[in-house]
Amino acid sequence: MTELPARRLLLVHAHPDDESINNGATMAKYTAEGAHVTLVTCTLGERGEVIPPELRHLTGPALGAHRRGELDAALAALGVTDGRLLGGAGRYGDSGMTGLADNDDPGCFWQADVDEAAGRLAEVILEVRPQVVVTYDDNGGYGHPDHVQAHRVTMRAVDLAAERGHRIAKVYWNRVPRTVAEAAFARLQDELAALPFDKSAALDDVPGVVDDERITTTIDGSAHGAAKAAAMRAHATQIEVAEPYFALSNELAQPLFTTEYYELVRGTGQRGETDLFAGVEEAS
């Protein structure tokens, strides 16, 4: 393997499209600045609801294969060249929404042994040797089983990698400050009539919203907003974009954030950071 850049960032997400919605501007920014950005996606989202009528025939493995193509296109829009599927394509199936019988499928990610899945992720960590890892909080941002499991697997993989000689300097969880979300939804209400969406989502529909004091790190990705929007549009089965807003299959409008926010949960840093690598020894 060729020598990697000095700064290395690894992000873990549950399904194709999560990376673009949550971290698209961050990924584009760091890639443009020469960092090595690795995305690990845990499932192909085979149980996702499809928006375009002409694609609604896609279900199960066929939808997963299509969404893998969407993921590739999204990463190309962000400039990211290192995209991985945890355990390989199809190793872990989409678990469906909370409380559905899909959650009991023995092949779904929710039913995966955490140590086994974390071991696979630890292998990627040991290969890439990132200093910074980004994932969800312990509620997966909004409670989806695959997001919760991605959190568990990531945090365990960080420990396993440390036991094998590579300590992650900083671990972050995806966040949105409450006041920022409230202001964005207020603007949305004023502009909704001009959008192709009839109704607005609610604040509780945005994953990872927390009180402002929980935010440690703000990444201004406004210069990369077009790349984020393009990446989101690439996930056409799941997202309809009308900048600076978008909607999922529920057709409820919500803000498209080009400034992205994080909570440092492991490692040393200061509130008010504007760089995920702040204080990191790049040679580590």
Q: Which residues are annotated as a binding site for Zn(2+)?
A: 15, 18, 147
Alpha-carbon distance values, 149 to 17, 136, 170, 181 (Å): 17, 9, 20, 25
Which residues, 6+ apart, have CB-to-CB distance to 99 below 8 Å? none
Tokens of 92: 């872990």
DSSP labels, 229-254: HHHHHH-TTT-EEETTEEE-TT-EEE
Say how far apart CA 125 and CA 268 lie, in whole Å: 20
Buried b / exposed e over 93-117, threshold 16 CB at 10 Å, is bbbbebeeebbebeebbbebeeeeb
Going by C-alpha positions, the residue among 10, 11, 13, 15 that lies closest to residue 239 is 15
